[in-house]
Amino acid sequence: MTAREHVASDRAAELSATLDGLLRERESLLATLDRVVALQGTARLIRESVGVHSGFVGELDKPGEAVIRWMSGNRTDALQNLVVPVGQGIGGRVLALGKPVRVNDYVSSPTITHQFDAQVRGEGIGAMLAVPIFSRVGDRTETVAIAYAAMREAAEFGDDAVRTLELVAQQAGTALELAKIAESKRENAVSAERRRMQSALHDSVGALLFSIGVQVRNLHEDIQDNPVLSSRLRRLEGDVSAASSALRESLLALSESSPERALPVELAEHCRSFEARCGVPARFVQLAPVPPLDAERTALLISAVREGLLNVEKHARALSVVVSLLPSDGGVQVVVADDGTGTGEPAEAPGTGMGLRGLAERAARLGGRVSVVRDEDDGCTLRAWVGRPA
């Protein structure tokens, strides 16, 4: 190898290390601003840090009950959306004890209950380690999620593995706390604390994003002859742009705003979280300014969009979703339209699911309406309308 080739090789290694650092910063920023991204990233980080075949995270939906939603390295969906009550299996034992639990071979372990042996066998898991993820709730610390590490054969997790997983769990707990701040309730926008959080996010995260952007631009000229690094740089640029958008939405949510302004922010956030969770593009469009609504009607429209996106996730097999907000018939309407091929609902009738039936009943009490229509060219459209308060 010539001296010139040595220099070029060393420069490529240096640039690659720089990009690695920027990508780590990007992951940290996204986790700070979005709870879903934080938990998805935690599942991946478990695999990388502990050196296991799979990592997954169960989040507490209510006290004493976790649901496994975020997974990395899984081969099947056997554990997806598995409900884990306190005391059951390795995760339930973690909830009961508030400390790490490890087993060398899950299905033969005498230290745990075995309600989930079928799911564990289905995923092909042997050894498993689980630790609690703590976060501050009010003035106390509580378990808010469970971090799992698993091997596909019988094995022994040592103390180093436990400490590593606990460190990952600690980082996840911090990310969840920060994400909770960024997603604070919109109705508290006028408080001094929200203004302080807005300023802190702008000064810290905003400045860091700007710094990353400058470094990315400076790297452009240096890697024109390196297609591998160029590809990674393009990916980084896209991720920085996504992080900047997330920051703008968070700052807008924390700023002083009227209820009619807070509604589109909330709907856009649900679209963003849906896309991060499912990988299906979800676009929010406000077609025109909408009149102000009271809290009950605003909550109904937000619930309708949430339910519509949930149905798309469960049933539609969609390639894209569009959520629209617009004034209509003297009131406000939201529309959730997908291009899926899943089973649709009867035309011009509320859905038969419990969630949609409940929405239709709430809307009727407010003088509004909810409908779900199967489109002629595939896809399904949910509409929810409420009039202005008297």
Query: 56: closest CA among 42, 76, 75?
Result: 42
> Beta 321-328 vs 282-286: how paired, if at all?
parallel
Contacts of 259 (CB under 8 A, 6+ apart): 187, 292, 293, 294, 295, 298
**Angle 91-92-95 from CA coordinates, rounded to 5°:** 90
**204 vs 35 pLDDT, higher one:** 35
pLDDT for residue 265: 77
Best CA proximity match to 125, nearest among 145, 150, 95: 150
Band of pLDDT at residue 349, cut at 50, 70 and 90: very low
pLDDT given at position 150: 98
Mean pLDDT of 176-195: 54
Q: CB–CB of 125/89 below 8 Å?
A: no
Judged against a pLDDT cut of 70, whether residue 293 lies above it is answered with yes
From the list 96, 86, 93, 121, the residue with the least C-alpha distance to 107 is 121
Mean pLDDT score across all residues of the chain: 80
**pLDDT tens across 68-119, in order?**
989 999 999 899 989 999 999 999 999 999 999 999 999 999 999 999 999 9
What is the pLDDT, as a whole number, of residue 190? 40
Name the 3-class secondary structure at 283. strand
pLDDT at 389 over 50: yes
**For the chain, how long is the longest CA-to-CA vector?**
82
Asked if residue 236 has pLDDT above 80, the reply is no
- pTM for the model stands at 0.46
Considering the chain, what percentage of its residues have pLDDT values greater than 90?
Answer: 38
∠ CA 220-226-231, nearest 5°, is: 70
Residue 373 burial (C-beta neighbours within 10 Å; 0-12, 13-18, 19+): middle
Mean pLDDT in residue range 162-190? 73
- Across the range 184-204, mean pLDDT stands at 51
